[in-house]
Amino acid sequence: MLETIVLVRHGESTLNYINKQNIGRIFIGQADTPLTYQGVQQAIACTSYFDHQSFDAYYSSCLSRAIDTAKYATANRVPIIQDERINERSLGKFEGSLLADLRLQYPDFDFNQPFNLDEQLKAIDGENLCDVYKRVQNFWTEILSSYNRVAVFSHSIWIKMTLAFLLKQPISEAKRLSIPNGQILELKYIDGHWQYKRS
């Protein structure tokens, strides 16, 4: 049974960087955007943690920013298992597009809705937070009895929904957490409960 889980948010991606420049919001979701130079450095910085740890399995989403973070963080020394259930929340038709352009393309859609806070809201052909939670639940239910120690390289929303599931938190509480690029979270199963800390 799992006793240790390490969750790592991917390093800064190109679209993460653009969204910090105040030139207009781009919806990212599952758009496959590569790591920036800063993102690579954040991933390499994780080696100081993984050099002193060993795991039964290393998982990643199927998006390159998570895969590359995993490779850099582990110095490419271990096999990385890719699993679509670990992918970031899908934003459907909005992915990779500027908010200003989407307002013109979909004038009847209310873009003032709080996508990252309301559990039921979703982009056109996208997922809401509850959909991601179901993917998370499916993934962990399958592997909880398969390993003792697992590392997973994923994305902000997926990690938040994992914490909601494992810590038995309401989605409304977990979704408000701040998880920076390159953040490592370590969870331990102690006395019948999962506990976590930031590394």
Q: Residue 4 CB: number of other CB atoms within 10 A?
A: 16
Residue 10 assigned to a binding site: yes
Specify whether the CB–CB gap between 16 and 28 falls below 8 A.
Answer: yes
Residue 198 assigned to a binding site: no
* 84 in active site: no
Residue 192 assigned to a binding site: no
Residue 65 assigned to a binding site: yes
Active-site pick, 3, 52, 84, 88? 88
Residue 12 assigned to a binding site: yes
Residue 29 assigned to a binding site: no
Active-site pick, 3, 10, 52, 186? 10
* 88 in active site: yes
Residue 11 assigned to a binding site: yes
Specify whether the CB–CB gap between 9 and 188 falls below 8 A.
Answer: no
Phi, psi dihedrals of residue 14, rounded to the nearest 5°: -55, -45
Specify whether the CB–CB gap between 85 and 30 falls below 8 A.
Answer: no
Residue 14 assigned to a binding site: yes
Residues contacting 188, CB < 8 A, separation 6+ = 3, 4, 194, 195, 196
Phi, psi dihedrals of residue 139, rounded to the nearest 5°: -65, -55
Binding residues: 9-16, 65
Binding residues for substrate: 9-16, 65
Which residues form the catalytic set? 10, 88
